[in-house]
Amino acid sequence: MAQLEKKRLYVRRLDIPHEETPAKKLRLSKPSKSAALHIDLCKATNSTDALQYLLQFARKPVEAESVEGVVRILLEHYYKETDNSVRLKIASLLGLLSKTQGFSPDCIVDDAINTLSNEKSHQVLAQLLETLLIIGTQLPESPALRLRLVEVAYKHLSDTYFGVRNKCLQLLGCLGMVDAPLGKENEGAGTSLGGLRDVQSIISDYFGDQDPRVRTAALKAMLQLHERGMKIHQIIYDQACRLLTDDYEQVRSAAVQMVWVLSQLYPESIVPIPSSNEEIRLVDDAFGKISHMVSDGSWMVRVQAAKTLGSMLQVSPHFLEQTLDKKLMSDLRRKRTAHERAKELFASGEFSSGRKWADDAPKEKLDTNTVNLIASGACGAFVHGLEDEMFEVRIAAVEALCQLARSSPSFAEKCLDFLVDMFNDEIEEVRLQSIHVLREISTHITLREDQLDTVLAVLEDSSRDIREALHELLCYTNVSTKECIQLALLELLKNLNKYPTDRNSVWKCLKFLGSRHPTLVLPLVPELLSTHPYFDTPEPDMDDPAYIAVLVLVFNAAKSCPTMPALFSDHTFRHYAYLRDSLSHLVPPLRLPGRKQVYGLDSVDSGPGSGSVESAQLFLQQSLNRVSTIQNLEAPGAQDLLDLTTRDLLRLGELQTELAGAADFCATYLRCQLLLMKALQEKLWNMAVPLCLKQNVTATAAAQQILEETYKLEFLYSGLESRQVATIHHVRLQAKALQLVLTARTRQGLDLLIGSCEKFLQDVESFQRLFLTELPHLQDSFVDKLLELMPRLSSCKPVELVKILQTTLRQSGLLQLRLPEQIHRATATIIEPTGESDNPLRFTSGLVVALDIDATLEHVQDPQNTVKVQVLYPDGQSHVIHPKPGDFRKPGPHRHRLITQVYLSHTAWTEPSQIEVRLLLAYSSSSTSLTSPSKLGWSESLESLPPAEAAVEGTIPFSKAVKVFIMPKPARR
């Protein structure tokens, strides 16, 4: 940094004589940069100095317009320079400079190519080729240039230094002709090539290079060609396969990719099996070869191979199933695997017999000739991969299994045992991943009892993530027998007992389990509810989470099993009514004999077919249309209409959860309009200025509220299009105008007024800039009118401006709101703490107590940065806590889970009292601004420009506050 500062000073000092006008901004002095460099370089007495200058120079950005000058100077020095390292630095600088935005490097191509011809040092040569590569990629539109560069690359391919060959191959890979026909290419390069050779065959020559780095580069170049859309010839396949046995891991890794690419290009072509007359499909052959790489010596290659296997979906099922194959033997006798044994035990009806010594005793004797020790082809690839030493390989294998299983139900069935085994891995990440994978493929499979048993054993895991993933898995699982249901229920209850915090998750899990398997639950009902044909059994405790869990299971099963309610006892019905009310998301509406549907809500919920969503949508649209008939804000009856519509929409949002976001959004928007309308219709406008000092309180409050609401509209809802954002900003502009008018009426200070007028005009301008494309849709609106008057506004006096604003505000029409396709409101629910506890959390004042917080967030984008926890103490103190990024988990799309701890502390209280905990959504208008997609480079940010509009930052509370009883005790002395 110090050096940088010095350099800056230096530049500035140099600038002064050059500049005629006093340098107001540093930027203006930039063109002299080349001159400065020139002076620097001339002053350099030796190569070390020159290198130092160049290094310093490289730290500063150069404007597009002065790049060429700088390049010339650099080249000039390049030719003069004898020291390799300085030339190397210059060459790299050339590359760096050609990357400058807005600079087109075609003017320096010739110079750059010329430098190559005289260069002796291999390192510098390699660097120059790198520079050419950058130039070439900067100018993708010029085929002639590419041809030249490719020619250069051909020429230097035979260099003795590996780096040069590497770069040449890279150049060929990035710039080699993809679509140009061969003839055309040869016209350009024919003389130097002297043959009909295309890029691919030239690159493939270097598959056999003596340097592994060059071999890797050749493979990478070929892959690059493929990525750019060139069809790789099938001849390459054999060569690539040979490289699979290379001595160097990076070559093997690249070769795996190459083989994979070819297997995707020519899956159906036939290749011969060496040393036999048979032939197989290429994709099968490649699959076999890559499977072989899963037991490679280098774990990088193993990861690569395992990952790749997952995407080879065209492979024949026969080969696929081999990957899970393992023939066990013991002393040359065939042995059954534990999986097979478990299956047999299950089939014979005897489960968990308690193991006997030599239970796994080998059976028949094997013929020595048939035992194949080196698995040819795909044999046991996944068996190896899943047992690998490195967890990276295991995860890759699990993922590959998942991909393959999703496309092949029979394979899914087979890999089940292996996945279940992975639940016992030593690394949690792997366990979690395999649980997720099993969930993804669970549509294909039905768990056997013994498998379920193994799965359920994991329920006792102390990691919350694992347990919840497992609950999720159970939600989607099919089981085969009623014993399985019983087993699952038992284990889940055990889990509930051990980890009471899992309550919600367990209940949810049982809900799905019940609704999935009504017929399996039916025979269990008497036992589950402990009813007896003759005797009345005691009524279970309604607050017992375990009992609720059982009821959730039964009720959900009963939903599609009408005979079940007959088995319920009286208190079960009562409990149903209670649970239906208190846990309506877990307990479905049931048609119970002799009972009326108690709640009106039920009728809505009972038939939530697609029809009702559509009709609701229609209603929403109609309401909006109705509102849009209001032409003027002052029209009679407009207020009532808005009022009614807002209410309708809010109710609709409650009833139809799918449309809650949209309905809320509209309602909020309309409320803003209503507020604006009311504010404008107040009588104060007719009064003289001095009289209305007191009365305008409501109007000011309204303006403030509208502003807040607009921020909510903008940041709380996801799925907004720029049209809606424009509408929101428009309302905000109106609110600001209102504020301005009010300020003008209340305060007399002219300076202040001028300031706020200027600010407002800036706002209008930035609005225009931001939503240029949306302006046509905003016809006849407030902004439209303002922009018409803009020339006048910017020149007139504040008082006049205020007047204009006032009239425009009153005259402008209501902007119609168009609903976006998908709009969701960000919501948060705090699950923990529940706020029900009457026992205060006691702690010694001055020390801290940790409060566990567990919340689900829906439709929050980037929660790591936006979601905060607010703690409000009774004395009005408020703390905002930023949770760690690691506290957020993502259990599903658009859903996040926040599990964190906040630390509370306070001075001593005499009584326990409640604090409030809520979640906040932080926003900043600058960060989401639509027009700043280009990130500032680090070097540019050094000269920090103030952002165009002052960023407005704030927070929106978006969850209900939860009250927690706490009691800081005075410290004992």
Partner 1 sequence: MPEIKVTPLGAGQDVGRSCILVSIGGKNIMLDCGMHMGYNDDRRFPDFSYITQNGRLTDFLDCLIISHFHLDHCGALPYMSEMVGYDGPIYMTHPTKAICPILLEDFRKITVDKKGETNFFTSQMIKDCMKKVIPLNLHQTVQVDDELEIKAYYAGHVLGAAMVHIKVGSESVVYTGDYNMTPDRHLGAAWIDKCRPDILISESTYATTIRDSKRCRERDFLKKVHESIERGGKVLIPVFALGRAQELCILLETFWERMNLKAPIYFSTGLTEKANHYYKLFITWTNQKIRKTFVQRNMFEFKHIKAFDRSYADNPGPMVVFATPGMLHAGQSLQIFKKWAGNEKNMVIMPGYCVQGTIGHKILNGQRKLEMEGRATLDVKLQVEYMSFSAHADAKGIMQLIRMAEPRNMLLVHGEAVKMEFLKGKIEQEFSIDCYMPANGETTTVTTNPSVPVDISLNLLKREMALGGPLPDPKKPRTMHGTLIMKENSLKLVSSEQALKELGLNEHQLRFTCHVQLQDPHSDADTLHRIYTHLKSVLKGYTIQHLPDGTVIVESIVIKVSSSAEDSNTKVLLLSWSYQVKTWTLFLEAAALPGVTTKLSSRHP
Interacting residue ranges for partner 1, rule: CB under 8 A: 157-158, 160, 205-206, 208-210, 247, 295, 297, 326-332, 335, 337-339, 354-358, 360, 368, 371, 373-375, 383, 386-391, 418, 421-422, 424-427, 454, 457, 460-463, 498
Please identify, using beta-carbon distances, which residue of 417 and 887 lies nearer to partner 1.
417
Q: Are 203 and 173 in contact (CB under 8 A)?
A: yes
Please identify, using beta-carbon distances, which residue of 429 and 940 lies nearer to partner 1.
429
Half-sphere exposure of 206 (CA within 13 A, CB side): 33
Please identify, using beta-carbon distances, which residue of 347 and 373 lies nearer to partner 1.
373
Please identify, using beta-carbon distances, which residue of 390 and 971 lies nearer to partner 1.
390
**Closest Cα partner for 901 from 855, 944, 945?**
855
Beta partners for 851? 902
What phi and psi values does residue 229 have, to the nearest 5 degrees?
100, 5
Please identify, using beta-carbon distances, which residue of 117 and 210 lies nearer to partner 1.
210
DSSP state of 222: H
Closest approach, Cβ 850 to partner 1, in A, equals: 20
Please identify, using beta-carbon distances, which residue of 426 and 543 lies nearer to partner 1.
426
Please identify, using beta-carbon distances, which residue of 339 and 448 lies nearer to partner 1.
339
Half-sphere exposure of 770 (CA within 13 A, CB side): 26
> What DSSP line would sit under 559-588, residue for residue?
HT-TTGGGG--HHHHHHHHHHHHHTTTTS-
Please identify, using beta-carbon distances, which residue of 180 and 493 lies nearer to partner 1.
493
The answer for residues whose C-beta is within 8 angstroms of residue 347's C-beta and 6 or more apart is: none
**Nearest 5°: CA angle at 458, between 453 and 463?**
170
Q: Are 733 and 763 in contact (CB under 8 A)?
A: yes
Counts for the chain of helices (H) and strands (E), in that order: 41, 18
CA distances from 54 to 39, 40, 910 (A): 12, 9, 70
Closest approach, Cβ 510 to partner 1, in A, equals: 22
Closest approach, Cβ 408 to partner 1, in A, equals: 22
Please identify, using beta-carbon distances, which residue of 426 and 836 lies nearer to partner 1.
426
Cβ-count burial 307-325 (b if 16+ within 10 Å, e if not): bbbbebeebeeebbebbbe
**Rg for the chain, CA atoms, rounded:** 37
Please identify, using beta-carbon distances, which residue of 329 and 952 lies nearer to partner 1.
329
Alpha helices in 477-533 (DSSP H): 482-498, 503-516, 518-521, 525-528
Please identify, using beta-carbon distances, which residue of 206 and 319 lies nearer to partner 1.
206
Closest approach, Cβ 844 to partner 1, in A, equals: 29
CA–CA separation, 562 and 663 (whole Å) = 36
CA–CA separation, 447 and 302 (whole Å) = 30
Closest approach, Cβ 153 to partner 1, in A, equals: 14
Please identify, using beta-carbon distances, which residue of 12 and 242 lies nearer to partner 1.
242
Closest approach, Cβ 233 to partner 1, in A, equals: 18
What phi and psi values does residue 779 have, to the nearest 5 degrees?
-65, 145
What phi and psi values does residue 198 have, to the nearest 5 degrees?
-100, 170
CA distances from 348 to 351, 353, 447, 485 (A): 8, 11, 17, 20
CA distances from 219 to 267, 359, 421, 476 (A): 20, 51, 37, 43
CA–CA separation, 863 and 898 (whole Å) = 9
Q: Are 530 and 554 in contact (CB under 8 A)?
A: no
Closest approach, Cβ 30 to partner 1, in A, equals: 46
Please identify, using beta-carbon distances, which residue of 40 and 246 lies nearer to partner 1.
246
CA–CA separation, 98 and 95 (whole Å) = 5
**Closest Cα partner for 305 from 325, 291, 318, 315?**
291
Pairing of strands 962-969, 841-844: parallel
Closest approach, Cβ 390 to partner 1, in A, equals: 6
Please identify, using beta-carbon distances, which residue of 390 and 952 lies nearer to partner 1.
390
Please identify, using beta-carbon distances, which residue of 205 and 940 lies nearer to partner 1.
205
Residue type, 925: S
**Nearest 5°: CA angle at 22, between 17 and 28?**
85
Please identify, using beta-carbon distances, which residue of 332 and 799 lies nearer to partner 1.
332
Closest approach, Cβ 216 to partner 1, in A, equals: 15
Tell me which residue has tokens 């009365």: 695
CA–CA separation, 534 and 935 (whole Å) = 77
Residue type, 460: E
